[in-house]
Amino acid sequence: MANIKSQKKRIRTSEVARVRNKAIRSELKTVIKHVKAAVEAGDKTAAQAAATTAYRKLDKAVAKGVIHKNQSANRKSGIQKLVNTL
């Protein structure tokens, strides 16, 4: 355990950030699964709607610094390729 006051605070704040980032990453996985499920079901409108939601979540994750903008771009590209198969 740290003895320095600023380091103790840093430990607390980094824990809060870690939990928040984990929740955001988990939500990203969930919305991408919704897109894949809609594509497998063959429902184009649901897949497009799920993709739009996924794009928004990815953009917000980039804005909060949870993922890198290039990772977001790669994921969006993969999602769009899936939707385009319908």
pLDDT value for 66: 97
Domain boundaries, the chain: 42-48+60-86
Number of other CB atoms surrounding residue 32 within 10 Å: 19
Digit-coded pLDDT (tens) for 10-65: 999 999 999 999 999 999 999 999 999 999 999 999 999 999 999 999 999 999 99
pLDDT value for 78: 97
pLDDT value for 75: 98
3-class DSSP state of 66 = coil
d(CA 52, CA 6): 42
Supply the DSSP symbol for 4.
S
Average pLDDT, integer, range 56-85: 97
Can you give the pTM of this predicted structure? 0.88
Residue 1 pLDDT exceeds 90: no
